[in-house]
Chain A
Amino acid sequence: MVFTALFLAVTLTSPALAHPMPNSVVLLNVHANRIDAELQIPLVELQSAWGHAVNDSSAGLIARLGPQLRQYLKTHIRPQSPDGRFWTVSVGELAVSETQNPINGVYRELTAQVQMIPPRMDLPRMDLPGADTPTNADVRQFTFYYDVVLHQVVTHKILVSVRQDWERGQLAEAEPVQVGTISLDIVNNRILPLPVNLESGSAWTGFKAMVKLGVQHIAEGTDHLLFLLVLLLPAPLLVASGSIRRWGRFGGVRYGLRRLLLIVTAFTVGHSVTLLLGSLNWIRLPSQPVEVLIAVSILVSAIHAVRPVFPGREAWVASGFGLIHGLAFAGTLANLQLNAGPMALSILGFNLGIELMQLFVIALTIPWLMLLSRTPAYHYVQVGGAVLAGVAALAWIVERITGQSNGLTRAVEQVVVYAPYVLLCLALLAVYLTWSISQHQQNSTSHTNAS
């Protein structure tokens, strides 16, 4: 989080030519019927504009001057619709934090969460059925009268960017898109408002972006995939009879596919449930224990792949751990702070993306595992894969508890890049062994015929 803030501060600073004085930054989060804005205002400039020693004694600033600050901000933030009516502005959470960039060094800034709502179009619309229902006002076109600090400190600059615009498929994960700068028109010695004209989007664009985000989440989320793949490793095998439980021979294609389908479905059901609940903010767990539990889930399925710990109950385990993985997915969605409609579509799209990517990887992997599981070599693939996954899981557990990366987790990151090659080798090995076994069988058959 600190890193993100730093990154923003650096990237949003105008081209490095002058400015020993830090800029203000306005980050817009565009919703269907409102805009949430985050303001970042350097206290040194705010003090020059507003006084009250906000920079000289910034400790306890919000407690001391919260109401006055909110009033001041409201006076100087006045978005206006094309029909001339001003929007309703309310100032929410205020916070003071320290930030820095190479040009300005360390400085303190005020962060303010501001909500801007355009007036409703509640004029009677005779041309429409249900004429008296107010239609959604347009949040995408307005004149942004914003002169916080700038009304007095004429050398101040305000960079306005869109950080999130769901309907345009722009999510907060991407870099903010700059809308423009508000500053003194030096030649004419006046401060002009910023005309904002955001391209219109659609629910479909937002939905597509969420599917993409889901796909990306799994593609980059090594831990989620590893859990599922390792759990699937022993799926085609039967449990051997004997005093010590161990994995036995191939149980047949039908048996393998049935178990596989069951496990994947159970995992999906599990993470869908918590994704839904988490996204709606009905449950919220701190991310650290969730991340640790995800690593533990890999370890458990790795152990199971070596020796059957819970044979026949894989589906239950998959759904149980699915609940945990879903919580991690939910964090991403909850952060978007969307309205009910877009949120429902987001949950659907995001989950669909997760599913698509999951199925894609399974479709790429499972045929070869099924082929291999009919050969004696499978034992090595199964145990080798499980041991590697187990080691990675242990490394992640340590990393996620201590909060520090270690050599192993860094190695995993580098090795993951080569996963396609491993898959290729696996495929070639599977094809080769299957072919050689069938050759062998043919040979022995022809031999028998000949005799």
Chain B
Amino acid sequence: MKKVISFSLLLVGILAILFACQDHLMNPGTGGGTTGPGSLTGGPGMGGGMGSGVDIASSLTVTATMSTTASTNSSCATSTGLAKVVCLAQAFEATLSSTQLSTVQLAYNLTNAQKWSNLPAGLSARYGVNLASLSTAQLAAFRNLMVAVLSLNNSNEGYDEMMGNLVADNVLYYAGGGTTYGAGNFYVSILGTPSTTGLWELLFTGHHYTQPYTFNGPAGSGYTPAFRGVEPTSVVSNTATGQSYQSMEQERVAFAAMLTGLSSTEQATAKLSGTYSDLVLGPGQDWKFPTAKSGLQVGTLSAARQALVLNAIKLYVNDLDATTAATVLAKYTSELANTYVAYSGGTSVTSQNDYIRIDGPSIWIEFSYQGGVIIRDTPHPHSVWRDRTTDYGGTK
């Protein structure tokens, strides 16, 4: 009897120790958590997340829904300018669930604004919600907003250029890119509370396309750093509408016209000695504009050749809605004489490492023709438009 009791006591002891240790072993494993922007910034939930892709059906739904440019919003119709953008941003936010809203509506600061990249969101996480997660009504409200801030009925420019990029990314899904690619993987976030007086930003970013709009009431606005690129460079077709796009071809052709239009002496002045396999001021290279300008001063050129430079600039600025574009273009035009163009590689812009730069008192545009990751052996463009004073609305 005594034996049995002592043996059971022993067993209980062993089990107790076992369980105690087990608990101890398990603890370090738990904890952790989801990644998101710094907690100081107002605590948004999940960021874009890495690797989690979107099925192609959702991406095709996105491009189909985004294909029309007719606004379905009537409540903001009477407003104009910034008031209209604020009204449409609020209307978009009003369609979101509280969870979605807490992901989309973040604090305004440079760290949050810098969360963009040329890479797909699966390789470089974004903040906000992706388009695949939006319902038809929510997507329509987002579309109404983008239709108001981009230029319309301008083939392969403005809203059309953005659509061309979304459609091209769907093509990359089929070209072997998989679910990391496709229109559903593009993210929208709103940093700061939309208002006609305060500082806030609308940021739309995905693979090869980033367009920020920073508004600061009467203090002015900024529309850069804006990233443009595309792969494939060939014509792609919207399966919902049959519309064709080649979103960056006009830019490439305009740069080639600008360079080949120069005299050989001018070309020699414009030619950079280094080789550029990528952009210099791509994502993450903020406020690093070179102190000295390189290349050829536009003011020394004939009027016709100056016009060719301006043509190239227009293909970036005129992506914005007409009123905004006119203001920005006026500034760049007035500074055109003190703007420099430079290039590396060939003047016909057909080969890898062909590179063009436009660097002015305010404007900074780079265009780089470079090797692709999904589609091999065919160069594709990366391009960035920055502004020496109004990048991120001037936030440094």
Contact = CB atoms under 8 A, between A and B. Distances in A.
Interface residues of B, number: 41
Contact of A186 (B278, B288, B372): B288
B118 A49 contact: no
Nearest to B117: A17
A152 interface: yes
Contacts of B14: 424-425, 428
B242 to A, nearest CB: 31
Interface stretch (B128-136, B150-158, B289-297, B322-330): B289-297
A187 B289 contact: yes
Given A17-B119, A18-B119, A102-B123, A187 B277 contact: no
Contacts of B290: 186-189
Contact of B274 (A104, A153, A417, A420): A153
Contacts of A282: none
Interface residues of A, number: 33
B20 to A, nearest CB: 11
Nearest to B281: A186
A16 B21 contact: no
A99 B281 CA distance: 27
B10 interface: yes
A188 B294 CA distance: 11
Contact of A436 (B3, B279, B288, B352): B3
Given A153-B277, A186-B288, A48 B353 contact: yes
Contacts of B283: 17-18
Nearest to B10: A432
B31 interface: no
A45 B277 CA distance: 8
Nearest to B294: A189
A351 B100 CA distance: 59
Interface in A17-35: 17-21
Contacts of B372: 20
Given A18-B283, A184-B280, A424-B14, A48 B117 contact: no
A16 B276 contact: no
Nearest to A151: B274
A155 B123 contact: no
Interface string A187-221: 11100000000000000000000000000000000
A184 B278 CA distance: 12
A18 B117 contact: yes
Nearest to B272: A154
Given A186-B288, A428-B13, A19 B7 contact: no
Nearest to B22: A421
A154 B6 CA distance: 79
A155 B284 contact: no
Nearest to B290: A189
A104 B374 CA distance: 9
B278 A187 contact: no
A421 B288 contact: no
B18 interface: yes
B21 A18 contact: no
A20 B208 CA distance: 11
Most buried by B among A18, A104, A428: A18
Nearest to B372: A20
Contacts of B175: none
A400 interface: no
A15 B119 CA distance: 12
A154 B371 contact: no
Contacts of B279: 18, 155
Interface string B99-127: 00000000000000000011100011000
B6 to A, nearest CB: 8
A124 to B, nearest CB: 46
A308 B21 CA distance: 37
Contacts of B370: 20-21
26 contacts: A17-B124, A17-B284, A19-B278, A19-B282, A20-B118, A21-B277, A48-B275, A48-B277, A48-B353, A49-B275, A103-B119, A103-B123, A104-B373, A152-B274, A153-B277, A154-B276, A155-B275, A155-B277, A156-B277, A186-B285, A188-B290, A189-B294, A424-B17, A428-B10, A428-B14, A432-B7
Interface of A: 15-21, 44-45, 48-49, 102-105, 152-156, 184, 186-189, 417, 420-421, 424-425, 428, 432, 436
CB-CB nearest 7 A-B residue pairs: A154-B274, A17-B284, A18-B282, A155-B278, A105-B373, A17-B283, A186-B288
